[in-house]
Structure 1
Amino acid sequence: MQKITNIELRKTMPPPRIDYRIAVYSHDTFGLGNIRRMLAICQYLLDNNPHFSILLITGSPVIHRLPLPTERFDYVKLPCLSRTEAEKYQVKSLGTTFDMTMRLRAQMIKTTLMGFHPDIVIVDKKPCGVAKELMPALEASSEAIPRAQWVLLLRDILDAPGKTRQVWRKHRYFDVIDRHYAQILVVGSQKIFDLGEEYGFPPRIKSIMKYCGYIHKSPTVIPQKNLATNGTRTVLVTPGGGQDGFRMIRAYLQGLEIHPDKGWKSLIITGPEMDGWAREEIAHLASRVNAAVTVQSFTADMQGTMSQADVIVSMGGYNSLCEIVSLGKPAVIVPRKAPVQEQWIRAQRFAHQGWVHCLDPETLTPSQLMEAIDNQLNRTLLPPPLQGTKEWQGLVRVSQAIRLLLADPGFMACHA
């Protein structure tokens, strides 16, 4: 009898049955944070729920450059927007007016959801979408997609409490959540930042909130050729998307120029959204430094790159800090303070836990940055591993919450 291998058997097996459709909305008008966070959630949901199919609706200009799930996943690309300041946006690429572009985006979202008929719609951060672009779909949902349950996903910190309270009152977000949303999932820790209390959420809204914990991701094991150090210590400098990271990188390169005796190797990843003039200036500054400095614009595997660095210099975005803490890496954080204070608040809270070292961007000097890096390179006491703790099980607990909403019989039986 001919022996059938496991590979041959898998080839003859039918594709997995898809029982549940999930739509994910990520507007992405600034940086890489939102889309990378939502892709991590999508990948985990697909890996651990073989009956899920996910359609992502995004305005990210770099979605095609990021690692995407390969099965039961696709995306619809919206015309790009840029954030000019807090709650202010403009058209990024198309030669159309803002109003025309927003009408187009709203129609695309509504048509997509009506055609896909999702069981769950996960909305990132903004209950109404950018400039209320989700409202046509929300208002048509009860008749056009009646089985859909809407879930609002919030990161740990949105902005300063006073400012956030004002924005939420202005846009009547609580009323929209009352009418349309089944649950709010917070990918953060109530012990670190009590979002509902800090932002004055009313009791009826708090009753549907679930704190899932921060997103802990295991690093890849693919070697990064630019970090082949041969025993030399390496500092990774990354401002995330890069749109406002020039000042931090300039301070770092000026510090190396002032202190040429530093014996470490540097990898600077500017981010794909950094302006061309800024990249040119960074390349010029790097050429003057008498040290091993490599500059590149992007990596599709940031956490894998972080895992091979000895110290990380970064801004204070959600993904960057979660990846740094997940890896247990020494880090110097230079967070953004404007137009929103989210990064500044997060960096301070993480520093208070002893997870990172935080510097004030408004008073940052090149020498101060060099001293902080030296201290982190020579640090002997690192915080204990956080993997498995309740505050760092965001992916697991988001998946559990979604399955409970769907009343998955198998899931309910094993958790009875």
Structure 2
Amino acid sequence: MMKSIIDILIYAHDGRGLGHVSRSVAIGLAVRRLFPHLSVLLVTGCGATAELIGEGELDWIKLPSYKTKISCGKSCGDLGPSNIDDKVLGTVRAESLSDLVDVYKPKVILADHTPQGKHKELLRAVEGSTDSKWVLGVRAVVGDVDKVWSELSADTFTSRYSDILWYGDSSVTGSSELDKLSKHFQKIPFETGYVSRFKELRNIVTDVCTHKKLAGVVSIPWSGEGTSVLLEKVAEVLGGFDISEGIWKVYMNHRDPRVCGVKKSFECHPNVYLEQLGPSFLTDLANSRSAIIYGGYNSLTDVMGAGVPSVVLLRGMKDGEQEEHAAILSKSSSAIVNVFPEDEVTVEALRNSLEKCLKTKVEPSNMVLNGAANAARYLAELAGVRDANG
């Protein structure tokens, strides 16, 4: 029997958005909060991980980052900050992950999104690990992601994985996704509810201002083909509001060259502040009367957790996940006011939607948003904690 150095290792898929890492961070924070005696380590290539953790207590290891670019709604590999070829990087990271598992000997390993990892980088660790309990974590709506629904994915899960955590609420989405996962992986998933990093961080940062002094926030976590055109429209809309409505804060990655090119469009408006993506976004979100977000899992759970009326933009990815998920949630949460494809939304539609948001009061919802805590209890029990749900 191996002697474990850490109790729980969390692997987070990275490459484009922040949703996978954000969920993993939230769960890691929940484990540290609820079970402070347990040792937890997060491993990912996402460079924004420290900002996502914020003031929370969660240690992590940084792998060289993947980078993806979007072409015609489909993502493909690109050279990341290390300038290592995408496929070569997958091989290098696979060796690093295998070594980490071998050295730290975790009791439980939670892998996000696919059992095999991005570019199959978990396979070596999975095959070489004999005593760790492997757990797969899957978002509420997977979408048409071939790597999740592949034969390799099912075979890898069957060979070494013991459990699936489903980060959704079947009272909202229905059971079709659960049934599909059960059939593919031959295992009934454990339903955690939605994993909200906003909700988890509120347990840590208790002095968040909620007086709704800001007119709104805009979140552009990463840029794609249509981002520059969209930002021009957003600048025109926000600049058209009277300053008496309040300040608008636009959160972007200022290091992205595509974003830098449109910053001047905002700088001429005294009611608009430009902010670098970081932990202050959630504080400002809680203090806002409206928001413009993209329709990723992370952003949707943020606005639902904060109870902020929002305009949701869709990137038009081929997997269809955002479209399907936003359509489902808009029926259950009044926080989602309007939904538009990013390349079709007009200046007039954006302005009308924000005006509607500013007049909307979000009604309480029965949607389960404490998925991070529920996942943490499940993992703690697997790691040997008695009465983890007590």
TM range (shorter): 0.7 to 0.9
1:394 to 2:371 alignment:
yes
Equivalent residue, structure 2, for 1:293: 272
1:150–1:183 contact (8 Å) kept in structure 2: yes
Equivalent residue, structure 2, for 1:9: none
Structure 1 residues 237, 95: closer, same or farther in 2, change over 3 A? closer
Instruction: Classify the secondary structure of the residue corresponding to 2:379.
Output: helix
Q: Distance in 1 between matches of 2:184 and 2:258?
A: 49
What displacement does 1:152 show? Answer: 0.5
Q: Distance in 1 between matches of 2:21 and 2:134?
A: 19
Structure 1 residues 292, 204: closer, same or farther in 2, change over 3 A? closer
Structure 1 residues 275, 139: closer, same or farther in 2, change over 3 A? same
Instruction: Classify the secondary structure of the residue corresponding to 1:151.
Output: strand
What displacement does 1:104 show? Answer: 1.0
Instruction: Classify the secondary structure of the residue corresponding to 1:215.
Output: coil
The one of the two structures with greater contact order (alpha-carbon pairs below 8 A, sep at least 6) is 2
1:241–1:274 contact (8 Å) kept in structure 2: no
What displacement does 1:122 show? Answer: 0.4
Q: How do residues 162-173 of structure 1 correspond to structure 2 at under 5 angstroms?
A: 163-164=144-145, 166-173=146-153
2:217–2:248 contact (8 Å) kept in structure 1: yes
1:19–1:52 contact (8 Å) kept in structure 2: no
Deviations 1:197-256 (CA, angstroms, capped at 9, x unpaired): 4783354735331111012406445568xx999x6x512111234556444432221224
2:7–2:383 contact (8 Å) kept in structure 1: no
1:235 to 2:216 alignment:
yes
2:109–2:134 contact (8 Å) kept in structure 1: yes
Structure 1 residues 52, 196: closer, same or farther in 2, change over 3 A? farther
Equivalent residue, structure 2, for 1:271: 252
Deviations 1:170-203 (CA, angstroms, capped at 9, x unpaired): 4521111111111010111123335764783354
1:20–1:51 contact (8 Å) kept in structure 2: no
Correspondent of 1:250 among 226, 232, 235: 232
Deviations 1:372-391 (CA, angstroms, capped at 9, x unpaired): 11111112x422154xx6x2
1:374 to 2:355 alignment:
yes
2:311–2:353 contact (8 Å) kept in structure 1: yes
1:75 to 2:60 alignment:
yes
1:174 to 2:159 alignment:
no
Correspondent of 1:29 among 8, 12, 15: 15
Give the share of equivalent positions with the same residue, in percent.
20
1:196–1:206 contact (8 Å) kept in structure 2: no
Instruction: Classify the secondary structure of the residue corresponding to 2:285.
Output: helix
State which drifts further: 208-217 or 195-204: 195-204
Amino acid across the alignment from 1:349: I
Structure 1 residues 313, 133: closer, same or farther in 2, change over 3 A? same
Equivalent residue, structure 2, for 1:84: 69
Q: CA RMSD in A?
A: 2.9
Amino acid across the alignment from 1:309: S
Q: Distance in 2 between matches of 1:90 and 1:273?
A: 20
2:141–2:177 contact (8 Å) kept in structure 1: no
Equivalent residue, structure 2, for 1:44: 30
What displacement does 1:270 show? Answer: 3.5
Any stretches of 5+ residues in structure 2 without a counterpart? none
Number of residue equivalences = 376
- Give the TM-score normalised by the residue count of structure 2: 0.86
Instruction: Classify the secondary structure of the residue corresponding to 1:179.
Output: helix
Equivalent residue, structure 1, for 2:192: 212
Q: How do residues 1-150 of structure 1 correspond to structure 2 at under 5 angstroms?
A: 21-67=7-53, 73-85=58-70, 86=74, 88-142=76-130, 146=131, 148-150=132-134
State which drifts further: 186-195 or 40-49: 186-195
Q: Distance in 2 between matches of 1:407 and 1:294?
A: 48
Q: Distance in 2 between matches of 1:243 and 1:204?
A: 32
State which drifts further: 168-177 or 260-269: 260-269
What displacement does 1:350 show? Answer: 1.5
2:11–2:43 contact (8 Å) kept in structure 1: yes
